[in-house]
Amino acid sequence: MNSKRLTFFLRLSSTVALWVLMLATIFAGYDFGFFCLLAFMALVALWEYYRMLEADGIGVFTLTGLICAVVLLAGGFLLMKEQGPENAYDFELVVLVLFLIVTFARQMFRGTRGDPLRAMSYTVFGLLYIPWLFSFITKIIYLTPRAADGATTGQYYVLFLVMVTKFSDMGAYVFGSLFGRHPFAPHISPNKTWEGFAGALVTSVLAATWLYALIPERLSAFRFDDIILLGLLLGFAAVIGDLAESIVKRGANTKDSSHMLPGIGGTLDLIDSLLFTSPLLFFYMRLVLGVS
């Protein structure tokens, strides 16, 4: 087995195993277990981000960022579970403002060592980029009305999100590996091609259509036109999310966020595309479809 094929199977195995575990906790109705898994992935990804910057000589406030991420994720989850997504917005704004103040205060006690502006801006950016964006998956869970027995119904939309996003990732990888000839963004990632981009869109639309045909009653907030449009939008956002992480890694002069997951790299490498697709789906459902 050549190295490309081995990398593909390792990537596929790691991705399937992790997302099956995540979705299993959702469909089991174990809200706290789902939150723990989601928070663990977000915190590990944030730690990987800070570690990459520290290795490149940028003195970010890792502990401060991780503590604020725990508060943001835990408080947001409890509010969304008990009162719905809308009531979590003010809490998130309070946490972000306090985090900004704490970051400035932390810099005051550090002194003049290093570049203060880079340290503060990169620390704050990490909180927004990873745990805040990733928390939109939890928001989707509690966005749709509950069933008559009180059970959540948003887990099916999370299933839709994960499947379309990951099929886009796989489509980009397979089409790019087999047919890639024309570079897409060589200054960011030399292996990304226009053929891979086209494959990402095709496979995301196919995944969206297949899942909607399989469980239309569970995705009743969507119409068929929404499915095609969401397939294209989520596929595009997944590619941008992957390239966004490539920008971060290139800026930190590293190839992978870590070596935790065979064939993938780190947790940030696993969730990078979902950081962009999950808020996009949430706002589409809320603002375009009027789900609340």
Whole-angstrom CA distances from 32 to 81, 118, 143 are: 10, 36, 17
Residue 134 or residue 256, greater confidence: 134
Token pair in block for residue 40:
């663990």
Model confidence at 263: pLDDT above 60: no
What is the band of 259 on the pLDDT scale with cuts at 50, 70, 90?
low
* pLDDT (mean) for 92-99: 92
Model confidence at 229: pLDDT above 60: yes
Residue 202 or residue 186, greater confidence: 202
Q: Give the pLDDT of residue 127.
A: 95
Cα-trace Rg, the chain: 19
* pLDDT (mean) for 50-74: 91
Q: Give the pLDDT of residue 8.
A: 62
**Domain residue spans of the chain:** 3-288
DSSP 261: B
Query: In angstroms, rounded to a whole number, what is the distance separating the alpha carbons of residues 226 and 290?
Result: 13
Of 229-233, 247-251, 283-287, the one with minimum mean pLDDT is: 247-251
Residues with Cβ < 8 Å from 292, sequence gap 6 or more?
Answer: 84, 86, 143, 286
Model confidence at 256: pLDDT above 70: no
